[in-house]
């Protein structure tokens, strides 16, 4: 497990380093960061949602799918609830800190580790978690809502009637009526969805390069990272243990709970003019820290 986790994290850090160097060399500027954000949020994420609905695992495991999605909603809502409990409302940059705790990096870090440890069934539950994350984060709009602190009807309406929602509705209808998209359509969709990791990591590297390093790795960043990796992970697992009885299923979610802050958080902070330096710092520290916390979580549970 250690080497699988280390390899996944090393691959991400290489992309972050590329972004850092390109910004320092002047090859990417602030406008470039925002342009890449737009490609990521409006195009690549939509493609990822469409690809997830066309996944063989979702089509071939009807009964397990119901449980997987149900557990995934419980898992995500538990982390969101814990973020509000652990971070005071009046704390400085509370919206960034809460987002760093509530949304973790299941797709890029946890999934390959779960595949190596638990096989196809573990990957299935991780896929369900990524699917639910996209719905909660983008469609319902909890990502932008938590980052901005706005809970207005306008913000909810904006997310419910976004391009991502349209794609999700179409993809859900295709799944319900068992309609497979032809390869000539799915091939470009797969290309676009595969941009998620590289663009997110390169953008994070650019954000780090544009910030004071003391703001990126500060005392508060270490504190929030500890809350993400240790406190919220343990509390989430203890709560899920009362609901999930199957050992493989529970341990899959325990592994997901102990992984790092999601790579979209620094990007969203930049998009909404929040403290992107702190978000990037939490992403970096938790990504390094989960090399230790993920194996430890397996020992505990």
| Both structure tokens of 128 | 């369900």
* Structure confidence by residue, pLDDT tens digits, 199-233: 888 988 888 888 777 767 889 999 999 999 999 99
Query: What is the SS3 assignment for 8?
Result: helix
Query: For residue 104, what are the β-bridge partners?
Result: 261
Exposure string for 216-234, b = 16+ CB within 10 A, e = fewer: bbbebbeebbebbbbebbb
Nearest to residue 289, comparing CAs of 220, 228, 209?
228
- Across the chain, what does the average pLDDT equal? 83
Look up the pTM and report it: 0.79
pLDDT of residue 149: 65
pLDDT-based confidence at 241, cuts 50/70/90? Answer: very high
Query: For residue 261, what are the β-bridge partners?
Result: 104
Please, what is the angle between helix 94-102 and helix 276-300, to 10°? 30
User: Is the model's pLDDT at 84 over the cut of 90?
Assistant: yes
Report the percentage of the chain scoring pLDDT > 90. 28
- Report the run of H or E that residue 56 belongs to, with start and end: helix 56-60
CA distance 97 to 289: 17
CA distance 199 to 226: 26
Measured at the CA of 84, the angle between CA 83 and CA 87, to 5 degrees, comes to 80
pLDDT of residue 188: 93
Nearest to residue 123, comparing CAs of 132, 134, 110, 135?
110
Please, what is the angle between helix 264-271 and helix 276-300, to 10°? 160
- Residues ≥6 apart with Cβ < 8 Å to 291: 2, 5, 6, 9
Return the sign of the alpha-carbon dihedral for residues 86, 88, 91, 95: positive
Of 208 and 96, the structure prediction assigns the larger pLDDT to 96
User: Is the model's pLDDT at 276 over the cut of 70?
Assistant: yes
| Both structure tokens of 225 | 């990272």
- Residues ≥6 apart with Cβ < 8 Å to 266: 203, 204, 207, 276, 279, 280, 283
DSSP state of 54: T
């Amino acid at each position: 497990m250690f080497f699988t986790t280390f390899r996944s994290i090393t691959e991400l850090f290489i992309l972050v380093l590329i972004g850092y160097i390109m910004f320092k060399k002047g090859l990417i500027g602030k406008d470039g960061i925002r342009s890449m954000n737009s490609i990521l949020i409006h195009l690549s994420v939509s493609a990822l949602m469409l690809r997830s609905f066309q996944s063989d695992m979702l089509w071939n495991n009807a009964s397990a799918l119901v449980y997987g999605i149900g557990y995934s909603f419980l898992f995500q809502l538990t982390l969101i609830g814990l973020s509000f409990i652990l971070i005071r409302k009046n704390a400085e940059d509370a919206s960034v800190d809460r987002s760093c705790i509530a949304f973790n990096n299941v797709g890029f870090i946890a999934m390959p580790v779960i595949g190596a440890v638990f096989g196809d069934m573990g990957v299935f539950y991780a896929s369900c978690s990524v699917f639910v994350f996209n719905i909660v984060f983008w469609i319902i709009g909890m990502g932008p809502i938590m980052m901005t602190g706005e809970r207005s009807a306008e913000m909810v309406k904006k997310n419910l009637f976004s391009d991502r929602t349209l794609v999700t509705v179409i993809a859900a209808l295709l799944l319900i009526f068992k309609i497979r998209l032809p390869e000539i359509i799915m091939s470009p969709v797969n290309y676009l969805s595969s941009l998620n990791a590289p663009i997110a990591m390169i953008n994070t590297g650019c954000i780090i390069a544009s910030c004071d390093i003391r703001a990126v790795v500060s005392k508060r960043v270490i504190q929030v990272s500890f809350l993400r990796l240790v406190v919220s992970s343990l509390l989430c697992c203890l709560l899920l243990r009362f609901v999930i009885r199957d050992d493989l299923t529970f341990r899959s979610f325990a592994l997901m709970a102990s992984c790092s802050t999601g790579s979209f958080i620094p990007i969203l902070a930049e998009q909404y003019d929040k403290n992107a330096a702190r978000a990037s710092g939490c992403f970096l520290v938790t990504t390094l820290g989960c090399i230790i916390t993920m194996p430890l979580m397996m020992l505990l549970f």
